[in-house]
Every structure is written in structure tokens, then in C-alpha cells.
Amino acid sequence: MLLPSDELKQLHQKVPICLSGRELPGNCDIRFGQFYYFFMFNAEGELTDVADMSNGLTKRVQKGMTLPLAFLDMVEASLLIETSLDDCERAYLDAQGSAKAYSNLLDKLKQLERIGSLRVTTLLRENADQMDDPVRTRFHALSIEIAAVRRQVINKRAIDSLAASIETFLAQNPDHPDANELLNAYLEVALKYSFDIAGRCHAVAQKWRENPSGGKEASARELADKLVKRCDQQVASVRGSIKKLKSETSYGVPRLYAQLGDAKKTLDLLEKTKAFGVMRPIRRAWREKAEAKLQ
Amino acid sequence: MKLSTMAVPLFLLAVPTFAQEVPLPYAEGNVNRFLEANKAQKLPSVVLYNFNLKSG
């Protein structure tokens, strides 16, 4: 497909193409395992489209196109998309974080398969204090971060960062109307790969009780109780999953014991199970914490 | 040795050299510099992530 055909040479004059290897463009984030992605930037250098190359090409080849023509067609179709992610970011800031601008931003991120979510999160947080409702903008940023980590980004740094983001947001806004949903995301997404989730939740709850945000003592205490209760449910769910296991050496099992904080079993299973690229830093952290706990 | 028989190995040697010098219709790596250059020329750009000539 990428042989220097006449069509490709002509296209390259009009729309230059770069084979980036593993270098990500446009300050984007991408999930481990998302191979062969196509990024389109407009003449202003702003990201307008992202597409899975395999899906885009297969769909066109199945319609009868040759592979080189399918690629040209992908480029042509992508050139028709005028709105860039940068347009939506600017519109959000200009509209002071309005619901409509947020909705447009979300639609654009969905079109981009959420690639670029973390850059939007950073931008919103940096500008939250200048918006009409800073808490609302911080909540928008957090919601985008949760969706990205839940569906698209799998790396330890992003997951750890999400846990810290939720803890900070809830410490400052324990009375937020969506606090319960955030607790769910905290347990289901942010702590999914954590060692000893009960230990962490109890420590966080204690911190909220002892250092409540000014004037929010009652709601901070209430939220701390909810966190402990929600954590108990999660631990029960993990124990239920362990009971249903058919094999103790399957891929996902060390995570369950790590979540329970079972140091001996976690170390034992880390020896018996294979590590894959993206999981290595996560497994390294489990090992360190389990060894520390046993000492 | 005939001139024509001498030309065959010379031609064979020249083919890979020529092949290496054919300009490829795409850039490789250094995405930010690539995007900046196209922006300066008001051209749109396509970036193919995870794609390189060895793998893809």
C-alpha cells in the first residue's frame, strides 16, 4: 500500500504523509495495542480526524477498492472534516465552559475515539479558574479523564493520576451532586489495578474526616462513610470473582489478589503468570507493595 | 570480456543504489517538525502512527 505509486506521489504533493513509527502527534494519548492509526491535521496544524487504519481500509476493500485507492479514499473522506479538536477547545473556553460547548467537545472526542482526551483534561484544569463555574469545569475535566481511562488509555501513570484527581476533587467538593458516581468511578476505574484497595480507601476516608474542606465538615464525613461502604462492596465483588475462578493462573487473577492486598498470594501468582508490555509497571508496583507488606 | 557481459554485474550493482535514491512519497519520524513544516506552507498533513517501512 505504501509503495511509491503514482497516486501516492500525487497525494503527497497535496497532503504530505508522515510515517511516525511510535511517535504520537498532536499531544495525543493512545492505548497500548492501538496499532496503525491515521491522524489528519488541517492546514493550521490542528487535529481534525483520527481513524483506525485497519477498519478504514478493510471497509473500503470489502466494497471493491484496491488497497492504494482505499487509502486515498480515507484521506479524501478525512479532508472533509472541518472542525478540529482545537476549535472545540477554543469554543469551550470562549463559552466559559457552557453545557453546549462541553457537549460539542465530547462529541469531537468521541469522533476521535477519545484519543486526545488527556490533553483536553489538562487544558480544562489549567483554565478552570477563569470559567464562569470553576467547579463545573473541573468536573468536566474529571469526567473526560474517567471516560478516557475507562475506555481508551491503559497505562499506570494515567490510572494513578486519575485516582489522585478523583480524591482531590471529592476532598474539595464532598457535597457535589455527582459524588456517588465519582466514588463508583474511583473504585471501578481508578483503583482497578491498585494494591490493597481497602487500605487505600480507609486512608483516604480518614484524611477527608480529619481535614475537611472549609465549611464542609458534615458532607466530608458523610462522603468518607460512603467511600468505606462502597469499598466494602467492591472488596466483596472481588472475593466473588475469585470464588468463580476456573484457573488461578489465568491472566487477570493476580489483579484480584492485589486488590485484596493479599501479599503472599500476589507474589506467588506474579511468579506463575505471564506479564505483557502494558502490565509490567503495574505488576512491578504490586510486587514492591506486596514485598513491603510482608516485611 | 565482452562489454555486454561486464555491464550485467554493473547494472545489478546499480539497481539497489538507484532504489535507495528514489525519493519516498512520505516523511518518516520527527512528527512535530513535519507538522510545523506543513503548517508553515498551509498544507494539511496525514500522520500514520505505528507505521514504519520495516513493520508496515
ipTM over 0.90: no
pLDDT score at A247: 86
How does pLDDT run across A219-246, given as a tens digit for each residue? 999 999 999 999 999 999 999 999 999 8
For chain A, where are the E strands, in sequence order? 17-21, 37-41, 47-52
pLDDT score at B11: 38
Q: Are strands A17-21 and A47-52 parallel, antiparallel or unpaired?
A: unpaired
Residue of B33, B42, B45 best to disrupt the A interface, most CBs of A under 10 A:
B45
Compute φ and ψ for A18, nearest 5 degrees: -125, 130
Give Cβ neighbours of residue B13 (< 8 Å, ≥ 6 apart): none
- List chain A residues with pLDDT less than 70: 1-4, 30-35, 152-154
pLDDT score at B13: 41
How does pLDDT run across B16-48, given as a tens digit for each residue? 444 455 567 788 878 889 999 999 999 999 998
Residues 22-51 of B with CB under 8 A from A: 22-32, 34-39, 42-51
Residue of B55, B25, B40 whose CA lies nearest to A41: B40
Q: For chains A and B, what is the number of CB pairs under 8 angstroms?
A: 128
Distance CA(A3)–CA(B43), nearest Å, equals: 22
Distance of alpha carbon A41 from its chain centroid, rounded?
23
Name chain A contacts of B35, Cβ cutoff 8 Å.
18, 25-26, 41, 45
Distance from CA of A57 to the nearest CA of B (A): 13
Name chain A contacts of B56, Cβ cutoff 8 Å.
2, 19, 36
Name chain A contacts of B29, Cβ cutoff 8 Å.
18-21, 23
Residue A129: Cβ within 10 Å count: 9
**DSSP state letter for A220:** H
Residue A36's region, left for phi above 0, alpha for psi from -120 to 50, else beta, is left
Name chain A contacts of B46, Cβ cutoff 8 Å.
15-18, 38-41, 75, 78
Distance CA(A231)–CA(A241), nearest Å, equals: 15
